[in-house]
Structure 1
Amino acid sequence: MAVTAKKIQHKESKFEHLLQEQVKNEFTASQQYIAVAVWFDDNDLPRLASHFYQQALEERNHAMMIVQYLMDNSITPQIPAIEQVRNDFTETRELIALALEQEREVTREIETLAKTAREEGDYIGEQFMQWFLKEQVEEVASMSTLLNVVDRSKGNLFDVENYLAREQVGDEGADPTAPKAAGGAL
């Protein structure tokens, strides 16, 4: 007589639900950064465009890190539709301020995820969120600095372009402590 194992029905925790939502948030952030990059590209500001195209890839990679974590923990990822992004802008400061606010919002979301994992006693989930907390400190600092540079340029966008050409802003390359992204980081 063959014995078959009963499949245990998995009940999604609040942390897992929030992770699924964060996939959507990260993909939406990626698309918003593409819209920002395209605006800069269309306005002949190649360094700003390049910076935000890179930011878009980072956000996409963050979403795929969460997807990989879900799969690694036998949770079926749901790839969602994204929210509408903003495409109409009038000036550079507006775009950078939007990017800074977006990073602050993502920071609040990541903090909520870490707090929820801790409250639910999900130590593996809490540990997973530690890298994202560190990343958000860097992202907010980077966007704050870029906004300061834009403000100090007093409208001379060539100064901002020169700053980006001269300084390493944002991602400093592959982080060996970063979680694996499903399909590999781009």
Structure 2
Amino acid sequence: MTTSILLYTILTYSFAAGFQLLAPSIGSCNARGGAIVPQASSSVLFADVLHKPGPFAAVDGAQQKEMLELFNEQITNEFAASHLYLSASIWFEARDWEGMASYMLAESSEERQHALSLIQFANKRNMDIQLQSFPQPNSNWESPDEVWGDILTMERDNTGSLLQLAQAANACQDFAMLAFLNPFHMEQVDAEAKIGTILAKVKDEQKTPGLLRQLDHELGQEAAVSGP
């Protein structure tokens, strides 16, 4: 009798300890209170979580769908940003601001590369990518400060859309997505700060004649160093 009780106690303790060890691997993909599901390992594909039956079938499909939609929108935003920079480059080139034209052309190429990086990441995870159309970029500016003002507004909007995507990824505990987006966030911090400084200098042209030509020269040199 004593031996049976001792054996039962040992088995009960072992089961409880084993459950505690497994508990950290259980989590929720729905930060708003959805079903509890096992956490996906880093090797699990997005498509597996979204479509496959089995242990991940309880993942909140609405949140996964929202994240996918925001991801597709971000690809569109990056291509749209590339076209706006290209339009600005054409505008400056037509008015003999060669340095600013070169700078805008280099930025256009960089934004396009951002979009391609997003697509490459999505393809690795079997995410459903749907290319979308976007509005024609502005080209009817009256002055350089209007051009730079539009560029700054676009960069701020891009920052906001990236944050929305990151929030959706965080709600689904998609840590691979969050890690992938981190460099984009830091680039946006730098971009907003730089464009803001350039815009301030452009507006100071009336106070300091010749400043705009100097800025044009500096931006041209920067574009030449960074390359296409």
**Normalized against structure 1, the TM-score is what?**
0.81
Is 1:61 the counterpart of 2:113? The answer is: yes
Structure 1 residue 13 displacement after superposition: 3.1
- The structure where helix makes up a greater share of residues is 2
Cα-to-partner distance string for 1:93-143 (whole Å, 9 max, x where unaligned): 100011001100000011111111111111111111111100100110110
Alignment partners' CA distance in 2, 1:148 and 1:169: 18
User: What is the letter of the counterpart of residue 187 of structure 2?
Assistant: E
The answer to whether the aligner puts 1:140 opposite 2:186 as a matched pair is: no
- Is the alpha carbon distance of 1:88 and 1:120 closer, same or farther for their aligned partners in structure 2, counting shifts above 3 Å? same
Count of aligned positions? 169
Task: State the Cα distance separating 1:156 from its structure 2 match.
Answer: 7.0
Q: CA deviation at 1:157?
A: 7.8
Q: Secondary structure at the match of 1:153?
A: helix
Aligned counterpart in structure 1 of residue 204 of structure 2, from 147, 152, 155: 152
TM-superposed CA distance for 1:173, in Å, is 4.7
**How far apart in 2 are the matches of 1:26 and 1:77?**
14
* Percent identical residues: 24
Q: 1:165 aligns with which of 217, 220, 227?
A: 217
Give the whole-Å Cα distance in 2 for the aligned partners of 1:14 and 1:81. Answer: 19
- Alignment-mate amino acid for residue 204 of structure 2: R
Residue aligning to 1:82: 134
What secondary structure, in the 3-state scheme, does the structure 1 residue paired with 2:206 have? coil
The one-letter code matched in structure 2 to 1:163 is: L
Is 1:25 the equivalent of 2:77? yes
Query: In structure 2, what is the Cα distance between the partners aligned to 1:105 and 1:144?
Result: 14
TM-score, scaled relative to structure 2: 0.67
Of 175, 192, 196 in structure 2, the residue corresponding to residue 123 of structure 1 is 175
| 8 Å Cα contact 2:122-2:129 kept in structure 1 | yes
| 2:76–2:133 CA contact under 8 A, matched in 1 | yes
Q: Is the 8 A contact 2:155 2:188 kept in 1?
A: yes
Preserved CA contact (<8 Å) 1:48 1:161:
no
Q: Distance in 2 between matches of 1:24 and 1:166?
A: 31
Q: For 1:33-112, what aligned pairs fall within 5 Å after superposition?
A: 33-112=85-164
1:3 corresponds to: none
> What do you get for the CA RMSD once the two structures are aligned?
2.6
Shift of 1:164: 4.3
- Cα distance in structure 1, aligned partners of 2:125 and 2:209: 46
2:196 is aligned with what amino acid?
S
5+ residue gaps, structure 2, are 1-46, 53-60
